[in-house]
Amino acid sequence: MIKSIKDLTFEEQMLPGTPACAGCGGLLALRHCLKALGEKTVIVNAAGCFTLLCVYPFTPFKSSWLYTAMACAPAGAQGVRDALNILIKKGRLDEKEDLKVVVLTGDGAAYDMGLSSTSGAIYRNLDFYYICYDNEAYGNTGFQSSGATPFGSKTGTTLPAELNPLGSELSKKDLFEIWRSHKPPYLATISPSHPVDIANKFKKCEGIKGPKLFIAHSPCPPGWATEPRLSAKFAKLAVETGIWPLKEALYGEVKHTLIPKKFKPVEEYLSEQGRFAHLFKPIRQEEAIKNIQERVNRYWK
Amino acid sequence: MLGKMTKQMLTGNASIAWGVRLSDVDYIPAYPVTPQTEIIESLSKWIREGQMDAGFVTMDSEHSMITAAGAASATGVRVFTATSSQGLMYGFEMLYTVSGWRVPFVMANVSRGLSSPITLEPDHNDILAARDTGFLQIHCETCQEALDSILIAYRLAEDKSVLLPAIVNMDGFYLSFTREPVEIPNKEIVREFLPPYKPTHAFFRASQPMAQGVAVLGGHIYSYFKYQMHMANNNALSIYKEVSEEFKETFGRGYGTVEGYMLDDAEYVLIMSNSFSAMGKAAVKRAREKGLRIGLLRLRLLRPFPEEDIREALKGRKASAVIDQNISVGKGGILYSEIAGVLYNEKQRPLLLSFIGGLGGKNISDAEFDFIFDAMMNAYSTGNVPQPALLYTEAELEEMERLKRVAGKG
Ligand SMILES: Cc1ncc(C[n+]2csc(CCOP(=O)(O)OP(=O)(O)O)c2C)c(N)n1
Ligand code: SF4
């Protein structure tokens, strides 16, 4: 376990120069995850923003990459993992050539379309990592609401309007609990604002065979209507307000890895983001803001 | 060299399973669907009993199954999988995707009509929907052919000038559940024809990082890779001829890209595919006994489409009729269009008639075949080609009327 960012490795697995937006929180989270995972990985990706990290003939990764389709990255991981095992068992591949298999998807794939293939992979106890960068909407198609979109968020398909001033009236699914109900050996939430926590969580599950699952809260400047330079701040505020709890579950037992000493009011997190601006002006939607605060209070009680 | 061979009564499904067992397959992602399930049950049993050294995993859907098959193949193992109808449709997105990965695995499709209405019996709308995906396609008439085609399919798919996945197709029920005497070749001899898989193209490993399935920006890049697939698929035509020649030398049986039946001196040609061709052959035989010069052309290799061989087989004929066991709703028979395309620029081409028959496993009776033969001869003598027609008997229509009355729609 490390204590400070000074203890993070300088070694990078993803090199600069990707086509992701400036201030992409997901990319920052991914960078820290890959630092922890090291060089011998194959990333199996589903359709989303990060599909465009590898555009012919370039790749920012030192390791391997396989783009599948939106619903089935965990199934791709199954094929790669099983094939590597078979090749090693049959003596056709040196064990030194083995790779960690890492699924990388957005929340749209993770919370919605890819649930069947993810559920299958966890059920089969597939030895893999899953990194979901959760920007709380379908980002690559221009930020429409997904199963991860929080209550009150404006998206391309939940515009606050006269008949519905709230934006999204539905609540974010609890993917952590959906995954946990499958009893994977390890799962965790992470945030790009807490790289030490990320490094320690990867360390903790190192060597565990089976699914190791990570949900990264991921500020998304164009979708959240925030300034690129403030992404780390919003990621941090989400943790400090209690909206994004940092936790892990080792063999099902949930533990919070950071409990804020004093919770900031959710308003601090919400009010500066364009996607929640309609909750504050032209008319302050007191009920909605209260509702969001109460959800957080209920969670931490 | 023929070696010692054994003959057993096998269903079409068991024949496919035997083909896989003999092919030193490493990995089988699976998902059940009637009428294919017997294939994966047989394979799973053999693996559990230690008769096959392969990984077997039941996936959560055909979409996942085809993904896993492609991903494993991209990692360097020999892969088999199987599906049918609704399953093929459910995985459809991944057919295009994995063929673009240029992964040479083999999949069996056991044809079954598509919902709705939901049915279990065969026609070819499922497999023909996959005709543009990049997969090679071999369509079988007999159980022996189904077994043999698995071996041939691996040779074709894995050829370094091809590197595309292949589908071996057979009809549900009519072949999948029909027992025929099948020669199960000796494994050692199969190994000579199809050695264990040792791919030399790129695959995932720590010392050789690779980005696979990457995005492209720009039509010129997309066009380049798409057309590469087209050329590779077409390469399979000449490779097919070499491979089937070698197959014949090794096993004493051969299969052309198309099969001619009583074709040599035929003036009229019936064109069919898959197991219903056996009914067509019986009808041709009867017609021959009456002195009519009719033959049958069975389409076997559907992708790549053997245009030259079809043109050659139809040269100098008076008329030809395609029985499409499929319907492109709003257009008609799919293979009719494809064959018309093959013939269009020929100076002397036979008249071409189109029939839709055998949808959802509907029988094609003697009378219906006779009707087609008459139609061909009539078209030739009058020069008038009839409109495309559905094969359907009066008795069937009467029965349908009765059912409608029962349903309260009479
Ligand atoms: C089967 C299918 N349906 C729809 C799409 C269109 N699509 C591409 S990316 C995307 C958004 C994915 O959202 P998410 O998983 O949240 O990742 P993000 O874009 O936010 O990175 C969608 C809907 C697709 N590629 N495939
Ligand atoms: S849209 Fe959002 S998630 Fe996608 S690359 Fe840009 S910042 Fe990242």
- DSSP assignment of A197-237: HHHHHHHHHTT--SEEEEEEE---HHHHT--GGGHHHHHHH
* Average pLDDT of chain B to the nearest whole number: 97
Domain ranges of chain B: 5-251, 258-396
Rounded Cα distance, B343 and B319, in Å: 12
Angle between helix axes A73-89 and B62-75 (nearest 10 degrees) is: 40
A279 C-beta neighbours (distance < 10 Å), count:
26
Which ligand does the CA of A73 lie closest to? 1
Task: State the best of B60, B62, B105, B217 to mutate against chain A, taking most chain A CBs within 10 Å.
Answer: B60
Tokens 């030193």 correspond to: B24
Average pLDDT (B78-102) is 98
Rounded Cα distance, B105 and B75, in Å: 12
Q: How far is CA B373 from the centre of its chain?
A: 26
Assess contact for A201 and A190: CB atoms under 8 A.
yes
Q: How far is CA A193 from the centre of its chain?
A: 13
Residue A148 Cα, ligand 1 centroid: separation in angstroms? 13
- Which residues in chain A have Cβ-Cβ distances shorter than 8 Å to B70? 76, 79
Which ligand does the CA of A108 lie closest to? 1
Helix residue ranges per DSSP H, B121-184: 125-129, 143-158
SS3 call for A70: coil
Are A85 and B209 within 8 A, CB to CB?
no
pLDDT value for B4: 56
Kind plus residue range of the DSSP H or E element containing B20: helix B12-22
Kindly list the distances between the CA atom of residue B4 and the CA atoms of B16, B52, B185, B244, B251, in Å, as whole numbers in the listed order: 20, 21, 8, 20, 11
Task: State the best of B67, B95, B221, B225 to mutate against chain A, taking most chain A CBs within 10 Å.
Answer: B67
The answer to whether residue B227 neighbours chain A at the CB level (below 8 Å) is no
Q: What total of structural domains would you count in chain A?
A: 1
Which ligand does the CA of A47 lie closest to? 1
Q: Kindly state the tokens that stand for A208.
A: 């565990």
Rounded Cα distance, B249 and B262, in Å: 24
Instruction: Output the domain CATH number for residue A230.
Output: 3.40.50.970
Closest partner residue to A72 (CB to CB) among B54, B55, B94 is B94
**Gyration radius (Cα) of chain B, Å:** 22
State pLDDT tens for residues B119-157.
999 999 999 999 999 999 999 999 999 999 999 999 999
pLDDT value for A259: 98
Assess contact for A47 and B35: CB atoms under 8 A.
no
Nearest C-alpha in A relative to B78: A83
The answer to whether residue B219 neighbours chain A at the CB level (below 8 Å) is no
Nearest C-alpha in B relative to A51: B215
Are B73 and A79 within 8 A, CB to CB?
yes
Kindly list the distances between the CA atom of residue B260 and the CA atoms of A87, B5, B155, B280, B373, in Å, as whole numbers in the listed order: 43, 27, 24, 12, 17
B32 C-beta neighbours (distance < 10 Å), count:
16
pLDDT value for B10: 97
Nearest C-alpha in A relative to B59: A120
Rounded Cα distance, B63 and A78, in Å: 13
State pLDDT tens for residues A200-212.
999 999 999 999 9
pLDDT value for B1: 43
Average pLDDT (B221-250) is 98
Assess contact for A217 and A273: CB atoms under 8 A.
no
Strands, E assignment, chain A: 41-45, 64-67, 100-106, 128-134, 186-190, 211-217, 246-250, 253-258
Tokens 């099969």 correspond to: B259
Q: State the amino acid at position A239 in one-letter form.
A: V
At residue B5 the predicted structure's pLDDT band, cuts being 50, 70 and 90, is low
Which ligand does the CA of A137 lie closest to? 1
The ipTM is 0.97
Rounded Cα distance, B284 and B74, in Å: 46
Ligand 2 residue neighbourhood (C-beta within 6 Å): A 20-21, 24, 26, 49, 135, 139, 220-223
Task: Choose one of A14, A24, A273 to mutate for the ligand 2 pocket test, by most ligand atoms within 8 angstroms of C-beta.
Answer: A24
Tokens 């969580």 correspond to: A201
Q: Which residues contact A104 (CB under 8 A, 6 or more apart)?
A: A30, A43, A44, A45, A46, A50, A73, A131, A133
For domain B258-396, which CATH number applies: 3.30.70.100, 3.20.20.80, 1.20.1260.10, 3.40.50.920?
A: 3.40.50.920
Phi, psi of B276 (to 5 degrees): -65, -15
Half-sphere exposure of B95 (CA within 13 A, CB side): 26
Assess contact for A149 and A168: CB atoms under 8 A.
yes
Kind plus residue range of the DSSP H or E element containing A76: helix A73-89
Closest partner residue to A79 (CB to CB) among B68, B216, B221 is B68
Average pLDDT (B228-255) is 97
Task: State the best of B65, B78, B214 to mutate against chain A, taking most chain A CBs within 10 Å.
Answer: B214
The answer to whether residue B214 neighbours chain A at the CB level (below 8 Å) is yes
Q: What is the DSSP letter of B388?
A: P
Rounded Cα distance, B170 and A185, in Å: 43
pLDDT value for B202: 74
Q: Which residues of chain A have a pLDDT value below 50?
A: none
The answer to whether residue B206 neighbours chain A at the CB level (below 8 Å) is yes
Where is average pLDDT lowest: B6-10, B87-91, B143-147, B291-295? B6-10
Chain A neighbours among B 48-87 (CB < 8 Å)? 53-55, 57, 59-61, 63-65, 67-77, 79
For domain B5-251, which CATH number applies: 1.10.3720.10, 3.40.50.970, 3.40.640.10, 3.30.420.40?
A: 3.40.50.970
Provide DSSP, B235-247. Answer: HHHHHHHHHHHHH
Closest partner residue to A67 (CB to CB) among B76, B205, B214 is B214
pLDDT value for B182: 98
Kind plus residue range of the DSSP H or E element containing A34: helix A25-37
Q: Structural domain of residue A227, as residue ranges?
A: 5-300
Rounded Cα distance, B294 and B285, in Å: 8
Assess contact for A211 and A184: CB atoms under 8 A.
yes
Residue B34 Cα, ligand 2 centroid: separation in angstroms? 43
Closest partner residue to A79 (CB to CB) among B75, B207, B211 is B75
Q: Kindly state the tokens that stand for B218.
A: 């720009």
